[in-house]
Amino acid sequence: MLTVFFAFLALFLLSVGLLIAISPGKPNPILDESGKPVAGAVVEKIRVEINGSQQGMFIQSTDTNHPVLLFLHGGPGLPEYFLTEQYPTGLEKIFTVVWWDQRGAGLSFAAGSDPATMTTEQMITDTIALTNYLHQRFGQEKIYLLGHSGGSFLGIQVAARAPELYHAYIGMGQLTYQLQSEMLAYDYMLEQYKQRGDTAMLRELEKARPTLDAPLPASYDRIRDDAMHKLGIGTTRDMGSIVTGVFFPSWRSPQFTLAEKVDFWRGKVNSRRQLRNAIFATDLTQQVKRLDLPVYFFEGRYDYTCSYTLARAYFDKLQAPLKGFYTFENSAHSPIFEEPEKSLKILLEDVLNGTNALRDKK
């Protein structure tokens, strides 16, 4: 028994040592096509006090005179900066990109913080406070706001609350009414697994039908991510598993210390507990019907994580002075990660120019 114990102990210590070795916690430099650091580029990993809470972010830019883009990650509680290592976006070539870890998530996780502060209203207030900090720091009267997935739930409400702070709002994998989205995804998955003859997954799904009641059934939650990613309708079309596509890469990233990686997942669990049910149960189509700034939706054709169909219907009804809806035919939930060249073209030619010439033509 002692031999087995010491073997496990040695394996554990070796694993911890390896994780420490690959976790220096320093941000990667921006490299040019020859692999050399770009002269004058800025890559920072900082923490700023926002409404009484220390909150972390990465800032990337090849030129800080670029317009500022604030990226609101999804989850809730799942920062996405580490995904740029596998799915480079190129956003830093045309923006000063702020990859903010929202209150309670990732670099912003704080053990023992008051759970009462983890509310949608607090997140809206935090976003506005961070926006004002970015205005002052970079000397820009307005910035761009991009919300992805759960971040789009926050972003579209911020844009409605304070449109004067932003040039435009960009929703990617835009939330609408997530409980309804889950039901559409369920029906799609059921049909797809029937066609595939996957009786094991069918049995699990048939025992786990979601409804318009929150929270989602625990039986559905247990298989949801696995079922979606196996069909290519999850985070990206090519990500076959949340474990290999998100969990393992988050631990391998050299840009975070080991303690920060632990906090990443502690924050994910806590944010989900505090925020997810309220997010899923909110019908944004009834809550936000007008935006007083340009609005752009980037939507993957295969997005069932946040329904493409519902996003299109919401967009058609949403009132705004300028609108652009863009379908990414080879994407699921994350077009900027999946089709970065098309994304940059739209951002450069439409969003930065305040036009919508490249939008889908009905």
Give pLDDT, residue 9.
45
Give pLDDT, residue 18.
65
Tell me how far apart the alpha carbons of residues 167 and 351 are, in angstroms, rounded to a whole number.
9
Tell me how far apart the alpha carbons of residues 124 and 120 are, in angstroms, rounded to a whole number.
6
Give pLDDT, residue 236.
98
Give pLDDT, residue 171.
98
Beta strand 42-50 with 53-61: parallel, antiparallel or unpaired?
Answer: antiparallel
Q: What's 83's domain CATH number? A: 3.40.50.1820
Give pLDDT, residue 362.
73
The Cα-based distances of 75 to 63, 88, 147, 268, 275 in angstroms read 30, 20, 11, 7, 9
Tell me how far apart the alpha carbons of residues 250 and 318 are, in angstroms, rounded to a whole number.
36
Give pLDDT, residue 5.
47
Give pLDDT, residue 16.
64
Q: Which residues of the chain have pLDDT under 50?
A: 5-6, 9, 11, 13
Tell me how far apart the alpha carbons of residues 322 and 114 are, in angstroms, rounded to a whole number.
40
Number of domains in the chain: 1
Give pLDDT, residue 116.
87
What is the tens place of the pLDDT at every residue in 77-130? 999 999 999 999 999 999 999 999 999 999 999 987 888 899 999 999 999 999
Full-model pTM: 0.95
Give the residue numbers spanning the domain of 334.
1-362
